[in-house]
Amino acid sequence: MSMLTNIVGFSLFGLLARFGQLGIQKRNLFDNMGGHAISMAVFGYAGYWAYRWDIRAAELLADKRAEIAARRQQRVTERAGES
């Protein structure tokens, strides 16, 4: 998933959460647009952070897999040398 879709998706979720808040309170949904913008910005930043974390986690997993593969290869060569 690209960064833009992640940020927009989280922002829209923030907008829906804000509408849900106002709906529970039975207030006008379009009364305070600044609150909507703040909610969308906060959730959009959370989407950006989640995107960056996903990339970093993938890098960490790739590094760990390479490390495990190298250890396995080393064990195979050691066992072949013992025989």
pLDDT digit string, tens, across residues 66-75: 999 999 999 9
| Containing structural domain, residue 19 | 3-82
- Based on the structure, what is the number of domains in the chain? 1
- In this prediction, the residues of the chain whose per-residue pLDDT falls under 50 are none
What single string gives the DSSP state of each residue in 5-19? HHHHHHHHHHHHHHH
pLDDT of residue 83: 63
What is d(CA 58, CA 52) in angstroms, rounded to the nearest whole number?
10
